[in-house]
Amino acid sequence: MEESVKKLLEKHGVDKVFIYTKRTPLLQNVYTTCLFINTTTKQIEARGVAICSVGDVYIKGKGKSKAFGRAMKALLNRDNNYRIKTRNRHTFLVRKEMKIKKAEDRVNFRDNILPELKTITKNIKIEDHGTGKLIRFDIPSLYPIQLANKDFKYKSQFRPKPAGAIEVNYINSL
């Protein structure tokens, strides 16, 4: 991190930056969260969230950068921005494919991925090609936004209350 950014964070009482991602068995990344924390007061000074689209290729650095920038915006403006909402959004389906060749892949799909898939789509096609199964399914574009909206109301938030078990456990462990 640049020295000027470190000084800016220190000026605003931030002495710890904590970044984490939320994943599901189906999605590699739902969202990336960046917390700016004052460990003396055990206060989250700002939080930034970057939601990964089901149509995008997950790039770890891009999510971290977006979440960091949104946390910085909240900290400097002392305000909340970018309300996470599912209404009035263009929704579409994204076609995904998954190949299952090994026994452990089959068990993982049956026990972890399939239950989640059944909650979001009815269009699941399984084709057996002899060498393995090819599973095709559609994911609604709003799915990651709906999951993020359960934990957060804004993508950029100043002094938020802890939203999930990860944040509460982290703050309690300081």
pLDDT digits (tens, 9 = 90+) for 143-169: 999 999 999 999 999 999 887 655 655
pLDDT digits (tens, 9 = 90+) for 107-146: 998 899 999 999 998 878 888 776 778 888 889 999 999 9
Domain encompassing residue 120: 93-140
Whether residue 16 is found in the same domain as residue 46: yes
3-state secondary structure of 49: strand
Whether residue 56 is found in the same domain as residue 13: yes
Q: How many alpha carbons lie under 13 Å from residue 23 in its C-beta half-sphere?
A: 10
Whether residue 125 is found in the same domain as residue 148: no
Whether residue 41 is found in the same domain as residue 25: yes
Whether residue 106 is found in the same domain as residue 148: no
CB atoms within 10 A of CB 95: 10
Whether residue 7 is found in the same domain as residue 74: yes
Please state the domain count of the chain. Answer: 2
pLDDT of residue 86: 81
Q: Which residue has the higher pLDDT, 15 or 58?
A: 15
- Do residues 154 and 161 make contact, with C-beta atoms less than 8 angstroms apart? no
Task: Provide DSSP, 112-174.
Answer: IIHHHHHHH-S-EEEEE-SS-EEEEEEEETTHHHHHHHHH-SEEEEESPPP-SHHHHHHHHH-
pTM: 0.86
pLDDT digits (tens, 9 = 90+) for 48-86: 999 998 888 888 899 999 999 999 999 999 999 999 988
Whether residue 118 is found in the same domain as residue 56: no
pLDDT of residue 106: 86
Type of residue at 83: R
Whether residue 52 is found in the same domain as residue 133: no
Whether residue 74 is found in the same domain as residue 23: yes
Q: Which residue has the higher pLDDT, 31 or 126?
A: 31
